[in-house]
Amino acid sequence: MTDPYYVTTPIYYVNDVPHIGHAYTTIAADVLARFFRSAGRDVRFLTGTDEHGVKIFKAAAEKGKQPRELADEVVEHFRRLWKELEISNDDFIRTTEPRHEARVREIVRRLVERDEIYLGKYEGWYDEGQEEFVTESTARANDYKSAISGRDLVRYSEPSYHFRLGKWAPKLIEHIENNPRFIQPDARRNEVLSKLRQGVEDLCISRQKQKLPWGVQMPNDPDHVVYVWVDALSNYITALGIPDIGDEHDGEHAKYWPADVQLIGKDILWFHAVYWPCLLMALDLPVPNCVFAHGWWTSEGRKMSKSLGNFISREVIAEICGDYSVDVFRYYLLRTVAFGADGDFSHEDLRQRYNGDLANGVGNLLARTVNMIVSYFDGKVPEPGEPGVDEREVAGAAEDLTSSAEQAIELCRFHLLLDKVNALADATNRYIDSTQPFKLAKDPEQRERLGTILYTCAEAVRLVLVYLQPVMPATARRGLEQLGATGPDRPLAETGAWGALAPGTPVHKGESLFPRKT
């Protein structure tokens, strides 16, 4: 009935503990999910964890644990962080879950059946000390020696299954050319296209079980285990109950596929922009509408590193959220840098952003508006008269926001939306200074005019808060409560339009939304 909307984050590898990069992707996805929910779309938002692989197996062994045990522990760090950051995911998939593993086997089975997979030979570099495969580019970068032990890498060859990636490449190129939105931003799209045009080889999708003991066994060959690509990438559909395998999840959420947008970091673009769509084409499934690769964060001007002490871990995020709030952290990440570009996180920049945009801008506007309505209209939103020229600038800023918000979000232009939100708050602050309601209040003859002005202010702040809501859910709600504008959930088509605030609505002063930081 309603229009489905499906957004995904990558599944995060449990070898790593969560940091700002994970938080960034997931917050962005959450904002998309919240926005489109409020717009009345039927939203599904998926995140999860990638739990197979040699690294996990070894890390667990070192700690004397079973891989699954280790994963169970690490996954909690992610779950807890998502909870702390107000992430509203509808599902959380782990690659070690039966619903996923069984579907991975089915996917492989289908690929074999369609002759999309054949037994070939894997050749590559292997680090014997680390018991890890090393890609050609990494090997070259390290002069064909182990990055850890310095020992020579060994040339390794073993039978393995290959996916006919090359066969699908021309079709993919065509698709990318015809669908500019498929890979975003454009610079990334160009990179993928030019690399594709240089030609691609088939993709090795299995490893021998003895080398990769922790993974999904190939259904057609007990000596082989599914390598990361098919295992991890397929989570986006297995979580929806695709394909059918005869369990209770079959087709459960199949209506959400294809995904509207799949958010990823730029480091995993190639896999998502090439391997994944080709696998889908081979399975005769539609490819996602958009794969959006965002940038990376540096911290205090330098690459994040634990030794430099600028690493933004889950603990540091918790500190920042404690100093400000979760919502402010979310706001900062999305406001400071255009989604897709790299950004730098700095405490000083955060403080300035906070004071400038939020405390002095939105927060102060709400405070002065509510205060005047309380003082001059007994705390009830006044009836507006006919708007005049003074109202034009505010109305224009509001129109600009309401008319472009959905498209900005659709294209993941979070900073643009926030920019327009701030522009409306700024226009309204200027409006108060130019119309001087606090002076008109002294003149009983100006009662109607005063009402128009304060209604205009209240309505403008309300819109500011409504459009801030997907990014700052809890804070926006507190602000809306002060305006008496909470009520039962109504679609954005109503709440997001000028005039939804009913005259007579009681307002009340509350705590500062954003107390100024010194």
Residues that bind RNA (CB under 7 A): 137, 187, 190-191, 194-195, 198, 266-267, 270, 338, 341, 352, 355-356, 359-364, 366-368, 371-372, 375, 426, 429-430, 432-434, 436, 438-439, 512-516
Kindly tell me which of 280 and 367 has the beta carbon lying closer to RNA: 367
State the minimum distance, in angstroms, from the CB of residue 485 to RNA: 17
Phi and psi at residue 31, to the nearest 5°: -65, -40
State the minimum distance, in angstroms, from the CB of residue 190 to RNA: 5
User: What is the DSSP secondary-structure string of 218-261?
Assistant: PTT-TTEEE-HHHHHHTHHHHTTT-S--SSTTTTTTGGGPSPSE
Distance CA 224, CA 208 (A): 5
Kindly tell me which of 220 and 310 has the beta carbon lying closer to RNA: 310
State the minimum distance, in angstroms, from the CB of residue 140 to RNA: 8
Kindly tell me which of 259 and 485 has the beta carbon lying closer to RNA: 485
Kindly tell me which of 216 and 424 has the beta carbon lying closer to RNA: 424
Kindly tell me which of 255 and 430 has the beta carbon lying closer to RNA: 430
How far apart, in Å, are the Cα atoms of 406 and each of 4, 42, 413, 438?
A: 15, 15, 10, 36
Location of structure tokens 């993974």: 215
Kindly tell me which of 95 and 475 has the beta carbon lying closer to RNA: 475
Return the number of other C-beta atoms located less than 10 Å from residue 17's C-beta: 14
Kindly tell me which of 77 and 188 has the beta carbon lying closer to RNA: 188
Return the number of other C-beta atoms located less than 10 Å from residue 262's C-beta: 25
Kindly tell me which of 375 and 486 has the beta carbon lying closer to RNA: 375
Half-sphere exposure of residue 267, counting CA atoms within 13 Å on the CB side? 8
Contacts within 8 Å (CB) and 24+ apart, 167-174? 167/116, 168/278, 168/281, 168/282, 169/196, 169/199, 169/200, 169/274, 169/278, 171/281, 172/196, 172/274, 172/277, 172/278, 172/281, 173/197
Kindly tell me which of 110 and 517 has the beta carbon lying closer to RNA: 517
Distance CA 238, CA 156 (A): 33
Phi and psi at residue 295, to the nearest 5°: -90, -170
Kindly tell me which of 44 and 413 has the beta carbon lying closer to RNA: 413
Phi and psi at residue 130, to the nearest 5°: -85, -15
Distance CA 285, CA 76 (A): 33
State the minimum distance, in angstroms, from the CB of residue 517 to RNA: 9
Spell out a b/e string for 287-324, using b for 16 or more CB atoms within 10 Å of the CB, else e: bbebbbbbbbbbbeeeebeeeeebebbbebbbebbeeb
Alpha helices per DSSP H over 7-164: 20-38, 54-62, 67-84, 98-113, 136-141
State the minimum distance, in angstroms, from the CB of residue 374 to RNA: 9
Kindly tell me which of 66 and 371 has the beta carbon lying closer to RNA: 371
State the minimum distance, in angstroms, from the CB of residue 38 to RNA: 23
State the minimum distance, in angstroms, from the CB of residue 184 to RNA: 14
State the minimum distance, in angstroms, from the CB of residue 364 to RNA: 4
Distance CA 357, CA 272 (A): 35
Kindly tell me which of 143 and 244 has the beta carbon lying closer to RNA: 143
State the minimum distance, in angstroms, from the CB of residue 318 to RNA: 23
State the minimum distance, in angstroms, from the CB of residue 336 to RNA: 8
Return the number of other C-beta atoms located less than 10 Å from residue 48's C-beta: 25
Rg (CA), the chain: 27
Q: How far from chain centre, in Å, is Cα 329?
A: 14
Q: Is 3 exposed, middle or buried (0-12, 13-18, 19+ CB in 10 A)?
A: exposed
State the minimum distance, in angstroms, from the CB of residue 129 to RNA: 25
State the minimum distance, in angstroms, from the CB of residue 375 to RNA: 7
